[in-house]
Chain A
Amino acid sequence: MSVDFALAVGAFIFIFCGIYLILDKAITKIILGFLWISGGVNFILLAAGGRLGIAPIFRSNARPEDYSDPLPQAFILTSIVITFATAAFLLAFLYRSWCIAREDTVREVADDTVAVDVVAEEVEDAESEYAQIANDPVDRGSHS
Chain B
Amino acid sequence: MSFLVPLIVLIPLAGAALALSTAARPRLQIVITVVTMTCSTFVGALILSIVHFGNKALVVFSSGFAAPFGIALVADRLSALLLVVTSVVLLAVLIFAIGQGLKDGDAETPVSIFYPTYLVLAAGVFNAFVAGDLFNLFVGFEVLLISSFVLITLRGTLLRLNAGMTYIAVSLISSIIFLIAIAFLFAATGTVNMVAISQRVKALPENIQLFLHLFLLIAFAVKAALFPLSFWLPDAYPSAPAPVTAVFAGLLTKVGIYSILRTESLLFAYNDISALLIVLAIGTMIFGILGAAAQAGIRRMLSFILISHIGYMLFGIALGTPAGWSSAIFYMVHHILIQTGLFLITGLIERHCGSASIISIYGLRYSSVLISFLFFISMLNISGVPPFSGFLGKLGIFLAGATLQTSIVPVYLVWAGLAAGVIANILTLYVMLRVWLLGFLRPKPEHAESWQAEDTGTQSIPIATARHLAEDPNLATITLPKAQNSRLMIFASILIVVASVALTVFAGFVYNITNAAGLDVWVPEVYIDIIKATTGMKNI
Contact, CB under 8 Å: B142 / A82: yes
How distant is B188 from chain A, measured CB to nearest CB, in Å? 8
- Taking CB atoms, residues of chain B closer than 8 Å to A143 are 363, 366, 443-444
For residue B165, CB closer than 8 A to chain A, the reply is yes
B residues 453-510 in Cβ contact with A at 8 Å: 463, 467, 470, 473-476
Cα separation A120 to B441 with both chains bound (whole Å): 20
For residue B294, CB closer than 8 A to chain A, the reply is yes
B474 touches which one: A1, A45, A86, A114 (CB < 8 A)? A114
Contact, CB under 8 Å: B296 / A122: yes
Cα separation A140 to B186 with both chains bound (whole Å): 67
A residues 23-58 in Cβ contact with B at 8 Å: 27, 30, 34, 37-38, 41, 44-45, 47-50
How many chain A residues sit at the interface, stated as a range, is 35 or more
Residue from B146, B180, B192 having most chain A Cβ neighbours under 10 A: B180
A93 in contact with B366 given A86-B146, A123-B296 (CB within 8 Å)? no
A residues 82-112 in Cβ contact with B at 8 Å: 82, 85-86, 89-90, 93, 96-97, 100-101, 106-112
Contact, CB under 8 Å: B474 / A133: no
B166 touches which one: A85, A96, A109, A126 (CB < 8 A)? A109
For residue A6, CB closer than 8 A to chain B, the reply is no
Instruction: Tell me how many residues of B have a C-beta within 8 Å of chain A.
Output: 57
A89 in contact with B161 given A106-B166, A110-B474, A133-B442 (CB within 8 Å)? no
For residue B358, CB closer than 8 A to chain A, the reply is yes
- Taking CB atoms, residues of chain A closer than 8 Å to B75 are none
Cα separation A71 to B444 with both chains bound (whole Å): 66
Contact, CB under 8 Å: A41 / B183: yes
B187 touches which one: A50, A90, A144 (CB < 8 A)? A50
A97 in contact with B161 given A37-B176, A126-B442, A144-B366 (CB within 8 Å)? yes
Contact, CB under 8 Å: A126 / B164: no
Contact, CB under 8 Å: A110 / B473: yes
Cα separation A129 to B444 with both chains bound (whole Å): 10
For residue B184, CB closer than 8 A to chain A, the reply is yes
- Taking CB atoms, residues of chain B closer than 8 Å to A108 are 473
A129 in contact with B445 given A100-B467, A119-B296, A120-B294 (CB within 8 Å)? yes
B186 touches which one: A48, A89, A106, A144 (CB < 8 A)? A48
- Taking CB atoms, residues of chain A closer than 8 Å to B358 are 123, 126
- Taking CB atoms, residues of chain A closer than 8 Å to B164 are 93
For residue B10, CB closer than 8 A to chain A, the reply is no
For residue B35, CB closer than 8 A to chain A, the reply is no
The 9 A-B residue pairs with the shortest CB-CB distance, nearest first, are A143-B444, A48-B187, A144-B366, A115-B474, A110-B475, A119-B296, A48-B183, A96-B156, A109-B235
Q: List 24 A-B contacts (CB under 8 A).
A: A27-B165, A44-B183, A45-B186, A71-B192, A75-B183, A78-B135, A82-B139, A93-B161, A100-B158, A101-B161, A107-B162, A109-B162, A114-B474, A115-B473, A119-B294, A122-B296, A123-B358, A126-B358, A126-B438, A127-B437, A141-B363, A142-B443, A143-B366, A143-B443
Interface residues of A (CB under 8 A from B): 1, 22, 27, 30, 34, 37-38, 41, 44-45, 47-50, 71-72, 75, 78-79, 82, 85-86, 89-90, 93, 96-97, 100-101, 106-112, 114-116, 118-120, 122-123, 126-127, 129-130, 133, 139-144
